[in-house]
Structure 1
Amino acid sequence: MARIKILFLLLIFHAAAFAQQHVYVETESFTEKGGWVTDQQSFVVMGSSYLMAHGMGRPVKDASTTVRFPAKGKYRMWVRTKDWAPFPTGPGKFTISIDGQQAGQVMGASGNDAWKWYDAGVVDITKEEVNLVMKDLTGFNGRCDAILFTDALKFTPPNTLKALNEFRNQVLHTSAASLDGGQFDIVIVGGGMAGTCAAISAARMGLKTALIQDRPVLGGNNSSEIRVHLKGDVDKNHYPKLGRIVREMDNGDPGNGNPDAAEYGDARKISIVKAEKNLHLFLNTHVYKVEMKDNKIAAVIGRNITTNQDTRFTGTYFSDCTGDGTVGYLAGADFRHGRESKAETGESLASEKSDSFTLGTSNLWASLEKDTISSFPETPWAIQFSDEYHIDDTKADWEWETGFGNFNTITDAEKIRDHNLRAIYGNWSYLKKNKADKYAKRELAWVAYIGGKRESRRIMGDHILTQMDIQEGKFYPDGTVTATWTIDLHFPDEKNSKYFEGQEFFAGTKHIRVAPYTIPYRCLYSRNISNLFMAGRNISTTHVAFGSTRVMRTCGMMGEVVGFAAAVAKKYNTTPKGVYTDHLAELMAIIKDETPPQQTLQNPPAGK
């Protein structure tokens, strides 16, 4: 009798909850984004993307959308936002209007730098469809994650990640069956230089290939969104075949932070990918979940960063080219984050003790000379500069970098980017005000809002590349990519540390030159997830060795090797490790250009 009563009460509770009318609006799904931009960099800690008003000090155009309500009446309106730079209140102010009438208070200047829901009061909805508008007031990176209307006037939406994800899935139905993205021979996640080159290589070897990228452009750090030039030589290879695809993708050397977006060749990269008949491109798709079976990855789930639609991709092989090692991490791959100790690796350049220190993230910027004098707003919320310390440059280079163990480059991606923005805007405000002879007619032409990461997770393979491998020029039988970049380990600039200890945003380095050396194939697959390749800055190295392997032309060549290896694995129905143990000679023959590309798949062994 008691169990029946409890069940009855539960049913009553469920019915009451179901009767509540929630209208949940993800801002990244706005029909017209105006001048607002979609930011997905913090998906791992937010569970979604959001819109941001990135106007470099000039208010951006309104974002708007049409919202349909299930019924007319009174709804409480909630807005999920934050004050990203409170001092005591920050600059990210915006308002929300319904059919031309402002609803609630000015948002984004609460003095609280945590993401949370703000009560915008009760609104009276008199039509089934209304026009919702977000108006930026400052141009200084105001941001909004979601807007909720609920007829349960005393309801408070959840804010912790787990509860928020559950609520979001319930009201948006994103927990329903995913779209079928298809079955592939290899699914490559990450569309930087490594992933794009891997996808082209695999497709040209005859594999049905999926390339999944979480942004609207390819190239990663070499895209117009981040604007880092390519480094590492492709003309010093032991195997001249490697680097051919990298050369196709190379748009020349526009330098770092060039104000001309076209110099980074976004359209060219996409056109090369789309020309491959075996290659299927999925842009704006953030992979956040994997499905495992028998210690293999069976599928990955990606969410569209604007529509929030999930898509499921199944495959025989997978390659983690995300930089962050996202797929490997989700699959349970062995990985390393931070520095090893000298006692652990025997490297002279290693840290005395292991720690979480990593190279940082850069947000580059550039200014242009104009015909007339211009002003720039006061920035009391930004980092403050002085005659004693400021950075007298018309554009940024790689040194504008935040991280260094003070922030986690994955979970603190938003904090890092925001710290970089506070440095950029604060320094620019000082230059405009105090160095008018040089900067009076200069305006900020471009500031990156997507962070250019250097280091995060490294997925462990059957070989972990070390400083000794590099400096002694060891040539292993499975040596593939020829790498040439110095051991280039960044650290906080000494003068920057003096003025901003623990909050550094400017880097230094000491280049330790090396002779060309080869990266073993065993660094390019996971040692414990049997069908996982990797290419890029997340391959199997120590922190010290990573300082040399991380540059993008080198990463692109890794991707080329992964494409070749996946074709051999497919031919023999084996694992990435099986290619090394049983078919290394064939892989090396392809790399040496001794095997016609299509022969690998056209002539499978009998019975396979």
Structure 2
Amino acid sequence: MLIQGPERSRSLRVENLQSDLVVVGGGLAGVCCAITAARAGTRVTLAQDRPVLGGNASSEVRLWTLGATSHMINNNRWAREGGLIDEILVENLFRNPEGNPLLFDALLLEKTIAEPNITLLLNTAVHEAETSEDGAITKVAAFCSQNATRYVLSAPLFVDASGDGVVGFLAGAAFRMGAEATSEFGEKFAPSREYGELLGHSLYFYSKDAGKPVRYVPPAFALADVETAIPRFRSLNAQSYGCRLWWFEWGGRLDTVHDTEKIKWELWKVVYGVWDYIKNSGKFPEAENLTLEWVGHIPGKRESRRFEGDYMLRQQDIVEQREFDDVVAFGGWSIDLHPADGIFSEHPGCNQWHSKGIFGIPYRSYYSRNVPNLFLAGRIISASHVAFGSTRVMATCAHGAQAVGAAAAICAREGLQPRDMTTPARMTELQRDLLRAGQHLPGRRLRDDADLVQRASIAATSRLRLESFPPDGPLLPLKESWAMLLPAEAGPAPSATFWVDVDEPGAVLDAELRVSSRSGSHTPDTTLDRRRVTLSPGRGQSVTFEFDARISEPGYLFVCLMHNDRVQVRCTEHRVTGVMSVCRWYNPASGEEAAQTPPRDIGVDAFEFWTPRRRPNGQNLAVTLGRRVDVFGPDNLINGVQRPTTQPNAWVADTVDPSPELTFTWDAPQTIGRIELFFDTDYDHAMESVLMGHPESVTPFCVRAYTLRDSQGRVLAERLDNHQTRNTILLEPPVHTDRLTLEVEHPSASVPASVFEIRAYER
């Protein structure tokens, strides 16, 4: 028993924690930053002001995690972010393909506490910062409401991943709120004051079928005049819930930091009022058995403070896909601005403009220009309001935060400050570390002198030389234009033969051969040749297009069959790494046409969208090529790229090879303690973390089973149930051998085995 008499006052318990790095904010950015740094040997304190990790992706908000893939509705092929955020999303797909947000919470907690170098503080809000004479942060103070403890967190380096930038604000870091004028950066898409300078918050609800009629009595504060107050009330329905209601947004006219509680109450009024409208207006009889299962308690924030680094990303960097020597991450979400009045606005809920491909983000946008030991991560990085419209989404934030974690690990180890990493030598080191971990950097290849495989002779039992896809799949009516996206070598364009069904005489089939005007992009905006064939009625007839064009450099071709309702084309059940079908199609939920047609002079490009259909659809078109595609050789394993870009960048075994193997041979025995393998988990699939279900828990291209042997045939590693992109094999003790053999199994009869990369190190 503890008995204390009256006292004049008491103090909270204080706990002092010293580490190499303090990360404030436990959203996906903070989590990825902390884990990345911890895995590199850095002692990290991670402070999160909420009871769970994940921020807007957590069960408290329930927003899906997205980035450059943009729901697969743009032309960013194979653009899912790599490295740690890929590891998390692939694991979530395996465990949680239904998109249960509670399971995503648990996965993030598991990943974080698995790192012994991380001290995790939940429910702990930073409220004070101390700085030295040079402006560097020495410590921050935080309070945990659950254990009534005040924490004092000290470190030589700090990362602000808090969303609102609480650490940067308290430490005096330069920041902005609101939109820049067009005159400052020449951004033609800068919004008017009438449209608004800040994006608002959103708050969602979930409903479920109770199996019997459910009565609903709204709270007194519920919005009563839905049809008058909400211009888009005709978009309301009884089926949508969760973040499909992203347009339940408000607050862009207010202070999105200090007015958050006010914004939350207005959104609560909207949610409970809308549910009253759905249940009690009589216009939704299908809602009779529905009940309100969950309403968010904290709103999902889009925008507040943005902090100034040594470089501020801007609209032109995104649209023109500008290259940066210090690129450490990439984005690809549209420039996505919303009217400040949100759900009460007469404007559409969003204004999205895409670039023709992914864009790089420079390291100089990830640290404060005036607080010397402060990194920036998440949505608060150094970007204009317009560029922020793209960089703010969570997978992009997490991808950049991995770069921050890797940079912080180098700084902690070498006693450096964030700006010190901008020298060419340090930047090369950082980019190498990121590429080693699977983080894709546009225009960069891994050059790794420590990789023993770079000095080995490589042999394969087979390699795919793609000549045809058999016509063993469903018929596809050409209600839209479809294309095969195929890698090609320089030289004459190959002919292409397809199989079609035609019921009526006189049908005409047009074909076009297209490429992208920008290397590394997959927007088919340049037409090399057109061909037209008049078809006779018949089923399973072949039609061949001979294209008169030359391919100037290796890249991707779009062999397009143009829309004709009278023609059906045969598909195949076979799939291959780095090859896919795409369609000139649009999702009505995200646009009104299969093209981007911006108003004049807003500084963005007009172009068509050619996008894949999600599995289990999206079969390739059955096709026979006049020239074999021979780009799947084992040399791809050491080219420093771990995903399809201008080429597939993968070794792919021949489909008829019963036991595919790769053999790596050295002139003399090597000491090998660690091996890295990278498999194809379909970087084109968006892998939304919540709400949207997925048709499989393991992607069809991923090698499930493999065995690794030394020169004596001894098994060094064996895996029968792989589903991850990156496999790290630690050999204890290290082996001494002059040969490694990797045996892989085909994922299925219709998908040949593929490997992007294998690396070997002494340790």
TM-score (norm 2): 0.52
Establish whether residue 489 from structure 1 lines up as the match of residue 337 from structure 2.
Answer: yes
What's the counterpart of residue 163 of structure 2?
Answer: 323
Q: Distance in 1 between matches of 2:429 and 2:413?
A: 11
Look up the match of 2:427: 584
Q: Is the counterpart of residue 194 in structure 1 residue 3 in structure 2? A: no
Q: Which has the higher helix share?
A: 1
Cα deviation for residue 557 of structure 1 reads 0.9
> Residues 392 and 346 from structure 1, CA distance in 2 versus in 1: closer, same or farther, beyond 3 angstroms?
same
1:351 lines up with 2:196 in the alignment: no
Q: Which residue of 2 aligns with 1:155?
A: none
Check 1:421–1:553 CA distance in 2 against 1; reply closer, same or farther (3 A cut): same
1:173 alignment partner AA: S
Provide the residue aligned with 1:392 in structure 2. 237
Q: Confirm whether residue 178 of structure 1 aligns to residue 11 of structure 2.
A: no
Q: Matches of 2:76 and 2:414 in 1, distance apart?
A: 28
Contact 1:341 1:353 in 2 (8 A): no
Alignment match, 2:49: 214
CA distance in 2, matches of 1:196, 1:539: 16
1:68 Cα shift? 9.1
Q: Deviations 1:504-539 (Å, cap 9, x if unpaired)?
A: 9x9333343442111000000000000000111000
Report the Cα offset of residue 576 of structure 1: 0.3
1: distance between equivalents of 2:403 and 2:432?
12
Compared CA separation, residues 493 and 318, structure 1 to 2 (3 A): closer
> Within 5 A, what are the aligned runs for 1:442-453?
442-453=290-301
Distance, in Å, in 2 between the alignment partners of 1:393 and 1:400 is 16
In structure 2, C-alpha distance between the alignment counterparts of 1:271 and 1:224, rounded to whole Å: 15
CA deviations on 1:448-503 (whole Å, 9 max, x unpaired) are: 111111111011100000001111111110011021111111125898435xxxxx
Give the gaps of 5 or more residues in structure 1. Answer: 1-66, 72-168, 499-503, 600-608
In 1, distance between residues paired with 2:413 and 2:78? 23
Q: Which residue number in structure 2 is paired with residue 289 of structure 1?
A: 128
Q: Per the alignment, in what secondary structure is the counterpart of residue 108 of structure 2?
A: helix
Deviation by residue 1:377-409 (Cα, 9 ceiling, x = unmatched): 244432123566643344242434434532221
The gaps in structure 2 that reach 5 residues or longer are: 437-446, 452-672, 675-763
Q: Secondary structure at the match of 2:211?
A: coil
Counterpart-to-counterpart distance in 1, 2:79 and 2:188: 32
5 Å matches for 1:32-71? none
Deviation at 1:358, TM superposition (A): 1.1
- Report the Cα distance in structure 2 between the residues aligned to 1:494 and 1:272, rounded to whole angstroms: 36
1:408 aligns with 2:255: yes
Matches of 2:99 and 2:328, distance apart in 1: 36
CA distance in structure 1 between the partners assigned to 2:121 and 2:343 by the alignment: 44
Measured against aligned partners, the alpha-carbon deviations of 1:169-208 in whole angstroms (never above 9, x if no partner) come to: 985534xx7311x211111000111110000100111111
CA distance in 1, matches of 2:367, 2:383: 12
Superposed, 1:65-104 pairs within 5 Å as none
The within-5 A match list for 1:93-132 is none
Residue 273 in 1 paired to residue 112 in 2? yes
Q: In 2, distance between residues paired with 1:300 and 1:452?
A: 25
Counterpart position of 1:310: 150
Question: Residue in 2 aligned with 1:157?
Answer: none
Separation in structure 2 between the aligned mates of residue 239 and residue 575 of structure 1, nearest angstrom:
34
Distance 1:342 1:427, change over 3 A: same
Q: Secondary structure at the match of 1:343?
A: helix
1:273 is paired with a residue whose SS is helix
In the alignment, residue 393 of structure 2 is paired with which amino acid? V
**1:42 alignment counterpart:** none
Contact 1:216–1:283 (CA<8 Å) still a contact in 2?
yes
Indicate how the Cα distance of structure 1 residues 379 and 242 shifts in structure 2: closer, same or farther if over 3 A, else same.
closer
What percentage of aligned pairs have identical amino acids?
A: 35
Query: For each residue in 1:407-446, what CA deviation from the matched residue of structure 2 results, as whole angstroms up to 9, or x when unmatched?
Result: 2211011111111100010111122112362222110011
Partner of 1:112: none
SS in 2 for 1:510: strand
Determine the C-alpha separation between the residues in 1 that align with 2:192 and 2:227.
Answer: 37
Cα separation, partners in 2 of 1:456 and 1:253, compared to 1, 3 Å: farther
CA distance in 1, matches of 2:181, 2:205: 35
Equivalent position amino acid for 2:225 in 1: F
CA distance in 2, matches of 1:203, 1:531: 18
> Aligned partner of 1:211: which letter?
L
Residue of structure 2 equivalent to 1:535: 377
Residue 155 of structure 2 aligns to a residue whose secondary structure is strand
Give the alignment partner of residue 360 of structure 2, picking from 489, 513, 518: 518
Matches of 1:240 and 1:551, distance apart in 2 = 14
User: Residue 121 of structure 1 aligns with which residue?
Assistant: none
Structure 1 contact 214–305 (Cα < 8 Å) conserved: no
CA contact (8 A) 2:45 2:121 kept: yes
Question: Which residue matches 1:102?
Answer: none
Aligned amino acid, residue 179 of structure 1 = E
Q: TM-score, normalised by structure 1?
A: 0.64
Aligned residue number for residue 249 of structure 1: 88
Among 472, 488, 507, the residue aligned to 2:320: 472
Q: Counterparts of 2:87 and 2:338 in 1: how far apart (Å)? A: 30
1-structure distance, mates of 2:19, 2:335: 37
SS in 2 for 1:178: strand
Q: Structure 1 CA distance, aligned partners of 2:195 and 2:426?
A: 38
C-alpha distance in 1, partners of 2:308/2:315? Answer: 16
* Amino acid corresponding to residue 237 of structure 2 in structure 1: D
2: distance between equivalents of 1:216 and 1:223?
10
Distance of 1:171 and 1:208 partners within structure 2: 36
Superposition deviation, residue 583 in structure 1: 1.9
Q: Which has the higher strand share?
A: 2
**Larger CA Rg, structure 1 vs 2:** 2
Q: For 1:128-148, what per-residue CA distance to the aligned partner results, in whole angstroms no more than 9, with x for missing partners?
A: xxxxxxxxxxxxxxxxxxxxx
Is the contact between residue 190 and residue 321 of structure 1 (CA under 8 Å) also seen in structure 2? yes
- Contact persistence 1:197–1:560 (CA under 8 A): yes
User: Retained in 2: the 8 A contact 1:402–1:419?
Assistant: no
Aligned to 2:307: 459
Quick one: distance in 2 between partners of 1:368 and 1:239? 35
- How far residue 238 of structure 1 moved from its aligned partner, in angstroms, is 13
Task: Tell me, yes or no, if the aligned pair for 1:340 and 1:354 is still in contact at 8 Å.
Answer: no
Change (3 A) 1:544 1:427: same
Equivalent in the alignment of 2:222 = 382
Number of residue equivalences: 424
Q: Report the equivalent of 1:52.
A: none
The residue aligned with 1:334 is: 174
| More moved, 324-333 vs 347-356 | 347-356
Deviation, 1:70, is 5.8
Which residue matches 1:564? 406
Structure 1 residues 540-549 or 427-436, which shifts more?
427-436
CA apart distance, 1:570 = 2.4
User: Take 1:580 and 1:238, find their aligned partners in 2: how far apart are those partners?
Assistant: 30
With over 3 angstroms needed to count, the CA separation of the structure-2 counterparts of 1:319 and 1:260, relative to structure 1, is: same
CA distance 1:316–1:310, shift in 2 (3 Å): same
